[in-house]
Amino acid sequence: MNDERYEMSDSSKTAFEAEAREERAYYDSLSIADLHALIHERRFGRTGMFWQSLRERATLLTSGWTLLELLERRSVSREARTQAAGVLLHLADCHDWPAEALADDADPEFEARLHELRRVVNARIRAMTA
């Protein structure tokens, strides 16, 4: 169903795209440690470019535990946890669950999935450092 109330005007799209480009340039200029600090401060920007920058520049070794900790924080928005899960699944080369399944703490299987993801991440990090 196409509802015109939810369509962006051309000027809104252009403004959003400009904001996204600016955010991306900003996040790309930061170190991974600085991005981790923003995770701890829960400052992810407005356009999703934070997560794209992290996804393209981080490694499982540098960011795996930070992302897992974020997923375990129920006080973090579901949207942010979904984005973090997507990045973590990508870094871990894990395709066992969709990102949404690792952010939905109302799902009865949530804890089991998170526990299994922690096991997978731990095993892959151990293999990298052995």
pTM, two decimal places: 0.87
Residue among 39, 73, 75 nearest 54 (CA):
39
Q: What is the pLDDT of residues 6-31, one digit of tens each?
A: 566 777 788 889 999 999 999 999 99
- Quote the pLDDT of residue 4: 52
**Per-residue pLDDT tens over the stretch 67-116:** 999 999 989 999 999 999 999 999 999 999 999 999 999 999 999 999 99
Confidence at residue 10, expressed as pLDDT on a 0 to 100 scale: 74
